[in-house]
Structure 1
Amino acid sequence: MKRILTTAIFLILGLGAAPRAGAGDFIAMGAPYPPYCVSDGLTVKGMAVSTLTTIMNMCDTPISDREIRLTPWAYGYESAARQTQRILLNAQRNIRTEHLYKWVGPVATAKIVLIGRKRDKLFIPTREQLKDYSIATVRWSRPEKTLLAGGMEEERLLRSPSHVQALRRLDSGEADLFASTELGAACQLAGMGLRPDDFAVYFTFDEEPLYFAFSRDTDDRLIRRLNKALQEIKATGPQGLSRFDKMFAD
C-alpha cells in the first residue's frame, strides 16, 4: 500500500511540473519582415528562417517548415511569452522584453532606412530635416514603428496597408521617401517591377539587432548550444567569409 501511495504521489508531482522544452515540438513565429521573414506560398522563408533551421539542425533539434508560421507581431510576442515551446523570430531585446524570453543572438542587424528617387537628389543630413519630407510607410510595420519610437509624428506619415501602395506613392511622387529595411528595399522594389537602381538610401534612421526569443520553458543547455552554433556559423572563415555570409551571398 505504501509503495502504491508513493508511486501515486510521484505521478501527481510529475503531472503538475512545468515541462521544459528541449528537443523537438517547437513552433516558430514571425511577422512579415523582408528579407528576414517572408511568405513563400504555403511556407515561410527568409534569412531568419534559414538561420534558425541551420542552428536547430546543428543542435539535433530540427524544426520543419510546417512549424514555422507567419503571425502578427503582437500575437507572436504574446504567444512566446505565455505559451510553451515557442520561438519568436526577429525579436527586439530590450529592458521591457529581457525577462520574458530566453535569447539566441543577435542573429543580424537590420538597418531601417528611408529610400527615395535618385532623380530628386534629396539632402537629409539629420533627423530634424525629415519634417520637410513626406514619408510613405506600411501601417504597423517594424520600420514604421521604429520611426514613431524615434520621435516621428504619426500624422506626418503617409500610411498604407502594404508596401505595394506605399511604393506606388513613392514612385508617383506623392511621397518623397519610403521607410524600409536596407536589405528588404531592393526586393520590394523589384517585386513591384521598379528598378532598384533608380532609387537611393537617403537616410539611415536606426539599426536594430534581431534575436530569436525562446519561451521561458526552454532548457538553458539548449539555449547555450544554439548560441554557440550561431557563433560558429558567423565565425570568419579562411577566405574572409563566414558560413552565415555564404548562406546569403546571393
Structure 2
Amino acid sequence: MICLGIAALIFNARANSLSELEYLTESYPPYNYQEEGELKGISVDLLRAALARAGEGLPRDNIQLLPWPRAYKMALAGPERVLFSTTRTQLREDSFHWVGPIIETQVVLLARSGSEINIQSIDELSNYSIGAIKDDIGEQLLLSFGVPAKRIKRAHSANSLLKMLNKGRIQLWAYEENVASWNIHNSGLDPSLFESVFTLQESELYYAFSKDTDPELIKKLQLSIDEIKSEFIGDGHNLYEQIISKYR
C-alpha cells in the first residue's frame, strides 16, 4: 500500500502542460542568448510562438540560461526538462525525445586565416590542437572520430575558445558555424582573421526532452511547430520564416 501511494504521488506530480516543464538553454546566438536581461533568438522565439499556439504561455522563470556542460547533464538527469538548442546526432538519439527541427546547422573547424591548415579527411584531425566546449557537439564529434582526448582543449564558453584561437593557444576551434561567426563579430575582432577549414557535420537543431516527459506534451509541441511552419500569412511568408529573418 505504501509503495502504491508513493507511485500515485509521483504520477500526480508530473507536468500536465508544456508551461510546467523546466527549459534549459545556453548562450548560443543567434539561436538562444540573453540581451539586456531578455532571452532572445530563433529557438526562443519559435518556442514561445509554439506554446502560444498551443494555448499556453512560457513563464520567464521556467527558462534557465546555463553553461552548456551543466545544462546537458541536468537534461539527461531530468525530470521533465527541455534542452535547447540541441544538435540531434546518433550518439544522442536515445538519450532524449526530440521536437523540431528548429533549423539546419553546420559544425565546423575554424582556424586563423593564413594558417595554411588544409584538412582533407577526419584522419588528419589528430595532428592538431583543437578547442571545444565540454559535452558540446564539437567535442562529441571529435571523440567519435577518434581524436585523442589529449588533443582536445576544453573550455566552458565560446568566448574563451575564441581567445585561445586568437592567441594561438589552439590551432582549431570546433563549433557551430553561425554561432562562431556571431561571437567573432561581437568580440570586436576582425572576422577576416578567421576562416572555416573543415566541416565536421551538417545536422539540425532540436528541442531535446528528458526521457520521462509525458509523450502527449511532446506531441503537442511538435504539432504546434509543424503548424507554424506550414501555415502562410498575408505577405506570402509564414511565422517561422519571419522568426528566422529577424536574426539574419
Q: TM-score, normalized by length of structure 1?
A: 0.77
- Identify the match of residue 146 of structure 1 among 141, 163, 187: 141
Contact 2:43/2:84 (8 A) holds in 1 = yes
**Aligned match of 2:239:** 243
2:201, 2:95 → 1: CA distance?
Answer: 24
Q: Runs of 5+ in structure 1 lacking a partner?
A: 1-11
- Give me the identity figure in percent: 26
Q: Report the residue type matching 1:247 in the other structure.
A: I
Cα separation, partners in 2 of 1:155 and 1:227, compared to 1, 3 Å: same
- Report the Cα distance in structure 2 between the residues aligned to 1:70 and 1:47, rounded to whole angstroms: 15
Tell me which structure has the larger Cα radius of gyration: 1
- Structure 2 stretches lacking a partner, 5+ long: none
Residue of structure 2 aligned with 1:22, choices 10, 16, 21: 16
Cα pair 1:43 1:66 within 8 Å, conserved: no
Q: RMSD between aligned alpha carbons?
A: 3.2
Per-residue deviation at 1:43? 4.5
Equivalent in 228, 232, 247 of residue 233 of structure 1: 228
| C-alpha displacement of 1:202 | 0.9
Q: Displacement, 1:50?
A: 1.8
Q: Are the equivalent residues in 2 in contact too, given 1:77–1:88 (CA < 8 A)? A: no
Aligned match of 1:168: 163
Q: CA deviation at 1:68?
A: 0.7
Aligned-pair distance for 1:112?
Answer: 1.3
Secondary structure of residue in 2 paired with 1:204: strand
Note if contact 1:43-1:69 (Cα within 8 Å) is conserved in structure 2.
no
Query: Contact (CA 8 Å) 1:112, 1:182: kept in 2 or not?
Result: yes
Question: Which residue among 194, 204, 216 is the counterpart of 1:209?
Answer: 204
Which of 163, 167, 182 is residue 187 of structure 1 equivalent to? 182
Amino acid paired to 2:220: R
**Cα distance between partner residues in 2 of 1:145 and 1:43:** 30
- The count of corresponding residues between Structure 1 and Structure 2 is 234
Task: Give TM-score, length-normalised by structure 2.
Answer: 0.77
Q: CA–CA distance in 1 between the matches of 2:168 and 2:90?
A: 40
Q: Deviations over 1:57-110 (max 9, x none)?
A: 11112112221112411012212xxx24x3232346567766665432222333
Q: Distance in 1 between the 2:7 and 2:134 partners?
A: 46
Question: What is the SS of the residue equivalent to 1:103?
Answer: strand
Counterpart Cα distance in 2 of 1:169 and 1:58: 43
Match of 2:76 in 1: 77
